[in-house]
């Protein structure tokens, strides 16, 4: 681990101690800072706080939002709740995967431009199916629109109205 | 809000903003200024944002209120704004072809909006708008004029029951917590996905409700537990909380009575189990969200072992109304045992998708055909899923049943959080049950065996059936599993997890048997059980299907009926959708 990283970790540790935060808030802070939670960070904190690393991993693997792998710059989330499911969410997922060139269980493009995620229900059922690009919700989507959304965003090109 | 001012209200709920509401609002502001509207008509005119008013399928919705008469425009796009400003706002002539049609009226006619009332009327980021419609008066009344016991008494009189899961009496829960020994107590408001419209349309009602709840049980601190990913809800609630704090409604010495109440956010994560109250508390404490064994109940030993009351945002949103109007008034809405209204999103294959609030006990037929406007594309209704993933599927034969706690319990479902998904003839019930069980299996926390292994085995068996490998014995195995899970699981998630299978199997037995005995999927959904073929007499050899096929499975010379090679076909249905002559048969 290099010096800069260690300095950042020390800062997070101070903040954590000062605010008497809990494990979730600490992990959230690590993820907000680095984009993901690498094993070495966990080991570092485990030692400093004298909390077994297994406790950390217990929480990390429990909540889908915590990631141990790097995250892409942009996040595209396909809602897979019930209302979206019956309106073809799986087809949107396939379209997004294809547009991003992801295979197998990959969720992030090699250039770290995009991460593809599934959401359970985001509560926008009345405009299903929905796709969320970063923070913007896109309603009543279909595979063609998803392809345009992803490809157009990536290359910052105009590929027709959404 | 003077009476002679012109109001322009742009819907900026989740759906309104997804449809481009932000840009529409920006353009309204731009054109109002550009055209010098205020100077030309001599009245104040300020376009503002409002929360969701329900009719989401026609967003962006815009209200123009001129001389007290309200005109609502639907499907507003940025390029329509200038004409609305010029012709309607300035010249006073509404543009008839862009206004809402009859379905907007029929969608709202049968609803009873008390909780959702202010959503779509007020600017959710303005505490003055909320106060102008008598916001925080109920909290003032409760805290300055009523004893905590009297507040609880009103809530008990109202008959309000929890809007989240099991439907436990809210007043009763508060009474127990008030009576529990201990100086430090907590009040928690769970804001789930279905509560987003409330948080985005009228966040102050949630804060006011939680404030009154905190006063009633004797808590000094309240938590707003919300999933971090609901950005807009978090944003609006934070603004509201900040404003409430500035006005002294939250903090020290509230209304000069010496009552202190702090409120803070606790950011949850998107785990379904966090809706279970003991799991939610574990999550606030920073641990894996695994339910605790009860008793002790949270009202005695909750957050950090202290007495805690947890209600969801809809329950809390009802509180200002109950205190303001009286428990007696509230108890007149609804049925004998289910009081008040229920907010839910109406979605799926129904014509009018949207956010709906109805008095408890309204028959499903009225919801689907009256408010929902019937089934999309004149297809046939098959069933209605109520109560979220662990709710149940109501068949068409029970359409005249009312939506309330008792009736739903009787058919093995729950009122739940409030999603209602409508299925039509094109939806396969076995596939739907499999979808829900797979979801519940992923979301099971893994603490207790019946839920962890039961959901796994059930989703495996359902998958087996949808793949055409099911045997009749599997159905008996699942029924037995369901019984064990329902009786021995630790928390509500496991106990209700078999509901999607049990209710669908009880009402749609034939569909299950068709999958098992005839290896057919009547709705044509389960890919392993369907085949695509070309109807030679209808095929015009246009080649559309051939081009659409991603697997190169379709061959055919010009002017010759095309043929699908079943070996190569991946059953994606692209040809079926591409064909303009209905020449592709799905069976």
What confidence tens digit (pLDDT) does each residue in B264-304 have?
A: 999 877 788 998 999 999 999 999 999 999 999 999 999 99
Residues A41 and A110 in one domain: no
Residues of chain A with Cβ-Cβ distance to B419 below 8 Å are 81-83, 121, 125
Domain-ending residue, one of A11, A31, A62: A62
Q: Say which of B285, B427, B436 has its CB closest to residue A22.
A: B285
Residue B311 neighbours by CB under 8 Å, 6+ apart: B162, B163, B164, B170, B173, B188, B189, B190, B213
- What local confidence, expressed as pLDDT, does residue A154 receive? 62
Domain ranges of chain B: 6-103, 134-331, 341-424, 429-517, 531-586
Which stretches of chain A sit within 8 Å of chain B by CB?
Answer: 21-25, 28, 58-59, 62-66, 81-83, 85-87, 119-128, 130, 135-139
- What local confidence, expressed as pLDDT, does residue A162 receive? 46
Residues A126 and A58 in one domain: no
In a domain, A67, yes or no: no
Residue B154 neighbours by CB under 8 Å, 6+ apart: B146, B171, B322, B323, B326, B327
Q: What CATH number should be reported for the domain holding residue A80? A: 3.40.30.10
Domain-ending residue, one of A42, A62, A82: A62
- Per the structure, the count of domains in chain A is 2
- Among B356, B327, B360, B364, which residue's Cα sits nearest to residue B341? B360
Cα torsion through B390, B393, B399, B402, rounded to 10:
-10
* Mean pLDDT on A54-79: 91
- What local confidence, expressed as pLDDT, does residue B10 receive? 95
Q: Decide if B347 and A128 are in contact by the 8 Å CB cutoff.
A: yes
Give pTM, 2 decimals.
0.91
Burial class (CB in 10 A: 0-12, 13-18, 19+), B457: middle
Q: Which CATH architecture has domain B341-424?
A: Roll (3.10)
In a domain, A162, yes or no: no
Contact status, residue B24 vs residue B64, Cβ threshold 8 Å? no
Query: How far is residue B227's CA from residue A132's CA, in Å, rounded to a whole number?
Result: 15
| Domain covering B429-517 in this structure, CATH number | 1.20.1440.230
Contact status, residue B441 vs residue B455, Cβ threshold 8 Å? yes
Q: Say which of B19, B287, B419 has its CB closest to residue A139.
A: B19
In a domain, A69, yes or no: no
Per-window interface: B 478-517 vs A, CB < 8 A: none
Contact status, residue B373 vs residue B397, Cβ threshold 8 Å? no
Distance from CA of B345 to the nearest CA of A (A): 6
Distance from CA of B348 to the nearest CA of A (A): 5
In a domain, A145, yes or no: yes
Closest chain B CA to residue A122:
B193
What confidence tens digit (pLDDT) does each residue in B316-350 have?
A: 999 999 999 999 999 999 999 999 999 998 999 99
Give yes or no for residue B540 having a pLDDT over 80. yes
Residues A31 and A55 in one domain: yes
Residues A119 and A92 in one domain: yes
Closest chain B CA to residue A75:
B229
Residues A147 and A82 in one domain: yes
With bands split at pLDDT 50, 70 and 90, how would you rate the model's confidence at A160? very low
Cα torsion through B574, B467, B506, B358, rounded to 10:
-30
Residue numbers of the domain that contains A92: 74-155
Residues A150 and A85 in one domain: yes
- What local confidence, expressed as pLDDT, does residue A155 receive? 56
Domain-ending residue, one of A62, A84, A107: A62
Q: Say which of B231, B287, B421 has its CB closest to residue A83.
A: B421
Give yes or no for residue B165 having a pLDDT over 80. no
Closest chain B CA to residue A21:
B286
- When scoring B435, B437, B452 by the number of chain A Cβ atoms within 10 A, the one with the most, hence best to mutate, is B435
Query: How far is residue B415's CA from residue B201's CA, in Å, rounded to a whole number?
Result: 22
Task: State the alpha helices, DSSP H only, in A111-157.
Answer: 143-155
Give yes or no for residue B195 having a pLDDT over 60. yes
* Mean pLDDT on B236-260: 97
Contact status, residue B519 vs residue B470, Cβ threshold 8 Å? no
What is the separation of C-alpha B305 from the centre of its chain, rounded to a whole number of angstroms? Answer: 32
Phi/psi of residue B186, nearest 5 degrees: -130, 150
Give yes or no for residue A50 having a pLDDT over 50. yes
Percent of chain B at pLDDT > 90 equals 81
Q: Does B57 touch chain A (CB under 8 A)?
A: yes
- What local confidence, expressed as pLDDT, does residue B366 receive? 96
Give yes or no for residue B388 having a pLDDT over 90. no
Residues of chain A with Cβ-Cβ distance to B18 below 8 Å are 124, 127, 130, 136-139
Give yes or no for residue A86 having a pLDDT over 50. yes
Residues A78 and A39 in one domain: no
- What local confidence, expressed as pLDDT, does residue A64 receive? 86
Residues A78 and A136 in one domain: yes
Q: Does B282 touch chain A (CB under 8 A)?
A: no
- What local confidence, expressed as pLDDT, does residue A159 receive? 44
| Neighbouring-strand partners of residue B72 | B63
- Among B270, B245, B277, B271, which residue's Cα sits nearest to residue B260? B245
Residues A79 and A126 in one domain: yes
Q: Decide if A137 and B14 are in contact by the 8 Å CB cutoff.
A: yes
The beta-strand segments (E) located in B149-258 are 186-191, 221-227, 251-254
Residues A50 and A105 in one domain: no
| Mean pLDDT of the residues in chain B | 93
Q: Which CATH architecture has domain B6-103?
A: 3-Layer(aba) Sandwich (3.40)
CATH of B531-586, one of 3.40.50.720, 3.30.70.20, 1.10.132.20, 2.40.50.140: 3.30.70.20
With bands split at pLDDT 50, 70 and 90, how would you rate the model's confidence at B359? very high
Q: Does B436 touch chain A (CB under 8 A)?
A: yes
In chain A, what is the straight-line distance between the N-terminal and C-terminal CA atoms, in Å? Answer: 45
Q: Decide if A123 and B14 are in contact by the 8 Å CB cutoff.
A: yes
The yes or no reply on domain B134-331 and CATH 3.40.50.11540 is yes
DSSP B259-313: EEEEEEEEEE-S-GGGGSHHHHHHHHTTS---PPPSSSPTTTS-GGGS-EEEEEH
Give yes or no for residue B3 having a pLDDT over 70. no
Q: Decide if B287 and A23 are in contact by the 8 Å CB cutoff.
A: yes
Per-window interface: B 138-197 vs A, CB < 8 A: 192-197
Residues A119 and A151 in one domain: yes
Helix axes B137-145, B203-217, angle to 10 degrees: 10
Q: Decide if A59 and B288 are in contact by the 8 Å CB cutoff.
A: yes
* Mean pLDDT on B449-473: 97
Give yes or no for residue A136 having a pLDDT over 90. no
């Amino acid at each position: 681990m290099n010096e800069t990283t260690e300095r950042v970790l020390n800062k997070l540790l101070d903040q954590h101690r000062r605010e008497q935060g809990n494990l979730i808030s600490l992990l959230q802070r690590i993820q907000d800072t680095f984009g993901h939670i690498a094993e070495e960070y966990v080991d570092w904190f485990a030692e400093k706080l004298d909390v077994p690393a297994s406790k950390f991993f217990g929480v990390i693997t429990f909540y889908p939002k915590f990631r141990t792998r790097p995250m892409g710059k942009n996040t595209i989330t396909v809602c897979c709740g019930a209302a979206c499911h019956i309106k073809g969410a799986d087809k949107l997922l396939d379209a997004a995967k294809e547009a991003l060139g992801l295979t197998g269980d990959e969720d992030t493009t090699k250039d770290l431009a995009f991460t593809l995620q599934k959401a359970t229900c985001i509560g926008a059922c009345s405009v299903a199916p929905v796709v969320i690009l970063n923070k913007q919700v896109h309603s009543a989507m279909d595979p063609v629109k998803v392809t345009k959304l992803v490809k157009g965003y990536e290359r910052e090109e105009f590929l027709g109205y959404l | 809000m003077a009476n002679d001012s012109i109001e322009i209200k742009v819907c900026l709920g989740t759906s309104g903003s997804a449809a481009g509401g932000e840009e529409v609002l920006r353009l309204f502001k731009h054109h109002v200024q550009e055209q010098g509207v205020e100077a030309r008509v001599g009245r104040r005119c300020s376009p503002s944002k409002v929360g969701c008013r329900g009719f989401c399928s026609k967003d962006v919705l815009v209200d123009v209120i001129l001389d007290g008469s309200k005109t609502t425009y639907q499907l507003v796009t940025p390029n329509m704004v200038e004409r609305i400003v010029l012709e309607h706002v300035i010249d006073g002539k509404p543009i008839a072809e862009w206004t809402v049609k009859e379905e907007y009226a029929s969608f709202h006619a049968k609803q009873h909006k008390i909780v959702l009332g202010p959503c779509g009327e007020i600017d959710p980021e303005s505490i003055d708008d909320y106060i102008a419609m008598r916001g925080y008066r109920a909290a003032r009344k409760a805290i300055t004029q009523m004893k905590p016991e009297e507040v609880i008494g009103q809530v008990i009189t109202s008959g309000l029951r929890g809007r989240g899961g099991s439907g436990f009496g809210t007043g009763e829960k508060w009474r127990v917590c008030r009576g529990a020994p201990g100086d430090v107590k907590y009040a928690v408001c769970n804001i789930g996905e279905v509560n987003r419209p409330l948080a985005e349309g009228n966040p102050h009602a949630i804060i006011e409700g939680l404030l009154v709840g905190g006063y009633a049980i004797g808590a000094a601190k309240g938590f707003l537990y919300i999933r971090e990913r609901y950005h807009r809800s978090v944003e609006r609630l934070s603004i509201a909380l900040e404003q409430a704090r500035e006005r002294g409604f939250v903090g020290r010495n509230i209304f000069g009575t010496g009552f202190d109440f702090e409120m803070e956010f606790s950011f949850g994560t998107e785990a379904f189990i966090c809706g279970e109250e003991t799991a939610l508390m574990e999550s606030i404490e920073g641990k894996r969200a695994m339910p605790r064994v009860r008793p002790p109940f949270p009202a005695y030993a909750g957050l950090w072992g202290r007495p805690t009351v947890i209600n969801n945002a809809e329950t809390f949103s009802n509180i200002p109304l109950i205190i303001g109007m009286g428990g007696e008034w509230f108890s007149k809405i609804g049925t004998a045992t289910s009081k008040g209204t229920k907010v839910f999103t109406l979605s799926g294959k129904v014509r009018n998708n949207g956010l709906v609030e109805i008095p408890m006990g309204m028959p499903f037929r009225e919801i689907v055909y009256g408010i929902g406007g019937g089934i999309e594309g004149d297809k046939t209704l098959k069933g209605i899923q109520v109560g979220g993933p662990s709710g149940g599927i109501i068949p068409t034969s029970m359409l005249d049943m009312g939506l309330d706690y008792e009736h739903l319990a009787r058919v093995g479902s729950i009122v739940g959080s409030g999603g209602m998904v409508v299925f039509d003839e094109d939806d396969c019930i076995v596939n739907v049950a499999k979808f829900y069980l797979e979801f519940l299996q992923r979301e099971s926390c893994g603490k207790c065996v019946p839920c962890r292994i039961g959901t796994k085995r059930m989703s495996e068996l359902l998958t087996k059936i949808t793949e055409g490998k099911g045997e009749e014995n599997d159905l008996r195995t699942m029924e037995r599993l369901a019984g064990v899970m329902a009786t021995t699981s630790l928390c509500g998630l496991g106990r209700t997890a078999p509901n999607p299978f049990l209710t669908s199997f009880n009402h749609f037995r034939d569909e299950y048997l068709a999958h098992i005995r005839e290896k057919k999927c009547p709705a044509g959904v389960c890919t392993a059980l369907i085949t695509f073929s070309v109807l030679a007499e209808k095929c015009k050899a246009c080649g559309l299907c051939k081009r659409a096929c991603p697997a190169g499975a379709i061959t055919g010379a010009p002017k010759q009926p095309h043929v699908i090679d079943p070996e190569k076909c991946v059953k994606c249905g692209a040809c079926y959708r591409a064909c303009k002559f209905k020449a592709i048969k799905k069976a």
